[in-house]
Structure 1
Amino acid sequence: MLRNVTDMDLRLLRIFSVVVKCGGFTAAQAELNMGQSNISTQISSLEKRLGYRICERGKGGFRLTEKGQRIHAASSALFGALDAFRNEAQDLSGRLVGDLYLGLADNIATLPTARIHAAIARFYQREHDVHLHISVNSPTELEMAVIDGHLDMAISYFSRPLPTLKYQPLYKENIGVFCGQNHPLFAVNSPSLEELQACDWIKHGFLPSDQVLPITPNFASATAHHMEAVAHVVLAGTHLGYLPAHYARPWLESGHMRAVHPQKLRYEVQHSMITHAGHPTSEALRAFIDDLLAEHTLEAVNQDSE
């Protein structure tokens, strides 16, 4: 019978949580860096401490008992409370510490007004022991990652606001229509609207169906969720596609692409920073947001900590 929770109990509960997350002892071996027999011994020790069985394992596979399900839920709440305490204690230290998870849209390093690199440089002038984790993904996946708590903050073009997120506009990006050198229209100086609409296009999978574009293609046999994927297909000469003007510039200069009616067939998108409206804001995240806004000479919009 468990009468008090020791450090050893916490260790056993963390092992148990990993096993549940992985779906069994075998799958958890790599993440725990432990052999299957060792994992089994640790779970048996936890069951002995609790006084009852929390999972079934054997030829029938891994399965939580009803008590095991409740222990897993309770331990998840416990570790969440411990993490909240750790963040609070770290924030009081006067030094930025911990992990900071940031998400970005792809291929914005060539956009001068993005200034992500300048914000990172400013942040690293601070006194800190922060480990920065940066990932690149589509706008929809970035929003979901912030909502799920896998990212602390993300920057991208988001088509419409979600109620659980805070949005801070940062910079704009010009998007145009581009054609690869092997495309039939590459040598046509001023293709007509009908000629363009008759072509095969690659569309952006993250745009909403009601997005208003300068020209709406009649046919698109390819879909991409990242700008680099669009570039590959446009360079192939098989499709027309929308690309950021700054990103396409090297291929324009090398002659591998051309912009189609660049003054008319273009539109502008707003990139924003998003954070979760209901999650606590760590001191490290607040500092990075301050540095990012300073690089854009902006003030925070409702970015106070909870």
Structure 2
Amino acid sequence: MLRNVTDMDLRLLRIFSTVVKCGGFTAAQAELNMSQSNISTHISGLEKRLGYRLCERGKGGFRLTEKGQRILQASSVLFGAVDAFRDEAQDLSGRLVGDLYLGLADNIATLPTARIDAAIARFYQRAHDMHLHIFVNSPTELELAVIDGQLDMAISYFSRPLPTLAYQPLYTEAIGIFCGDQHPLFEVDSPSLEQLQASDWITHGFLPANQVLPVTPQRASATAHHMEAVAHGVLAGTHLGYLPGHYARPWLESGKMRALHPETLHYAVQHSLITHIGHPQSEAVRAFIDDLRAEHHV
């Protein structure tokens, strides 16, 4: 029977939460840097402290019991309260302390209007003892990570606003049509709209459903969820694809790619900063958001 909560109990609860997040003991080994037998020992110790079984494990796979599900929910509330206390205590010190988790879209380092590096530089001029964690992922994965509390904020272009997230527009990105030097249209001076539509395309799996494209692909045998994946399809010479002009520039200069009708066939996407409306923000998170806004003049 659990009569008081010790530091060891908190550690065991965090191990339990990680096992659930990973979907079982085997998958949690790398995350926890523990052997499966060691994890099992810790979970058994937690169950002994509580006085009941939290999960079923064995040949039938990993599954939470009803009480395990309730403990998982209660521990999430507990960790949230501990984090809120830590942030409040740190805020009172007048010095930024702790960890900040930032998510970004891929391949924006060469975009002149994306002043993420300048915002980081401004942030590191503050009095702090911070550790910045930067992750790169698809827009959908970034939204889910912010909703789940794995990220404090993320910057990308998003298909539609979600009710639990706040969106702050920061900058735009110009997207054009590109083909590789092995593609049949590479040597065609001015390919027609019909030729473009008849070509095979690699399409984006992360564009807004209502995005109006200069040319709507009629045939697509490949889908990409990151810009680099689009580039691979274009460089192969098998597909046409939409790419940011700044990202494609090295291949343009080397003759590996060509922009098709760049003056007319292009569009712009809006990149926004997202945060969770219901999650409390530490002083460090608020400071970094201020630095982002200052660098992007918003």
- The answer to whether TM tops 0.5 is yes
CA change 1:140–1:190 in 2 (3 A) is same
The answer to whether the aligner puts 1:177 opposite 2:184 as a matched pair is no
Q: Paired residue for 2:247?
A: 247
Q: Please say if 1:139 is aligned against 2:139.
A: yes
Conserved? CA contact 2:159–2:209, under 8 Å: no
* CA positional deviation for 1:288: 0.8
Residue 121 of structure 1: aligned partner:
121
1:104 aligns with 2:66: no
- Separation of aligned partners in 2, 1:203 and 1:24: 35
Q: Which moved more, 1:158-167 or 1:176-185?
A: 158-167
Deviation at residue 10 of structure 1 after TM alignment: 3.0
Distance in 1 (CA, whole Å) between partners of 2:135 and 2:97 is: 20
Aligned residue number for residue 279 of structure 1? 279
Identity of matched residues, %: 84
Deviations for 1:129-188, whole angstroms, at most 9, x for unmatched residues? 211111111122212221221111111112322222111111111111111111111111
How far, CA to CA, are the matches of 1:25 and 1:234 in structure 2?
A: 41
Gaps of 5+ in 1: 299-306
Residues paired across the two proteins, number: 298
The answer for unaligned runs of 5 or more in structure 2 is none
1:303 corresponds to: none
| Kept after mapping to 1: 8 A contact 2:252/2:258 | yes
What is residue 9 of structure 1 aligned with on the other side? 9
In structure 2, how many angstroms separate the alpha carbons of the residues matched to 1:141 and 1:58? 31
Summarize deviations over 1:105-152 as a string: whole Å, max 9, x none. Answer: 111111111111111111111111211111111122212221221111
- Residues 19/197 of structure 1: CA separation in 2 closer, same or farther (3 Å cut): closer
- 1:76-99 Cα distance to aligned partner (Å, 9 max, x none): 322222122112212222111111
Over 3 Å counting, the alpha-carbon distance change for 1:233 and 1:64 in structure 2 is: closer
Residue 186 of structure 1: SS of its match in structure 2?
helix
The answer on whether the counterparts of 2:158 and 2:208 sit within 8 Å (CA) in structure 1 is no
Distance 1:138 1:36 in 2: 31
What is the CA-CA distance between 1:31 and the residue it aligns to? 4.3
Q: 1:185 is paired with a residue of what secondary structure?
A: helix
Report SS of the residue matched to 2:183. coil
- Alignment of 1:207 with 2:207, yes or no, is yes
The 1:250–1:93 alpha-carbon spacing in structure 2 relative to 1, beyond 3 Å, is same
Q: Distance in 2 between matches of 1:25 and 1:242?
A: 42
Amino acid at match of 1:254: S
Displacement of 1:215 in angstroms is 1.0
Q: Structure 1 counterpart of 2:247, which letter?
A: Y
Query: Against the structure 1 CA distance between its residues 209 and 56, is the aligned structure 2 distance closer, same or farther, given a 3 Å change threshold?
Result: closer
Q: Which residue of 1 aligns with 2:80?
A: 80
CA-atom RMSD in angstroms: 2.4
Q: CA deviation at 1:196?
A: 1.2
When structure 1 is superposed on structure 2, of 134-143 and 33-42 the one drifting more is: 33-42
Change (3 A) 1:10 1:227: closer
Alpha-carbon distance in structure 1 between the residues aligned to 2:138 and 2:36: 37
Instruction: State the 1:204 CA deviation.
Output: 0.8
- For residues 220 and 25 of structure 1, the distance between their equivalents in structure 2, rounded to whole angstroms, comes to 40
Aligned residue in 2 for 1:153: 153
Amino acid at match of 1:130: M
Aligned CA distance change for structure 1 residues 148 and 191 (closer, same or farther; 3 Å): same
SS of aligned partner of 1:263: coil
Counterpart amino acid of residue 119 in structure 1 = A
* Pair 57,234 (structure 1): closer, same or farther in 2 beyond 3 Å: closer
SS of 2:185's partner is coil
TM-superposed deviation, 1:57: 5.7
> How far apart, CA to CA, are the structure 2 residues paired with 1:284 and 1:93?
12
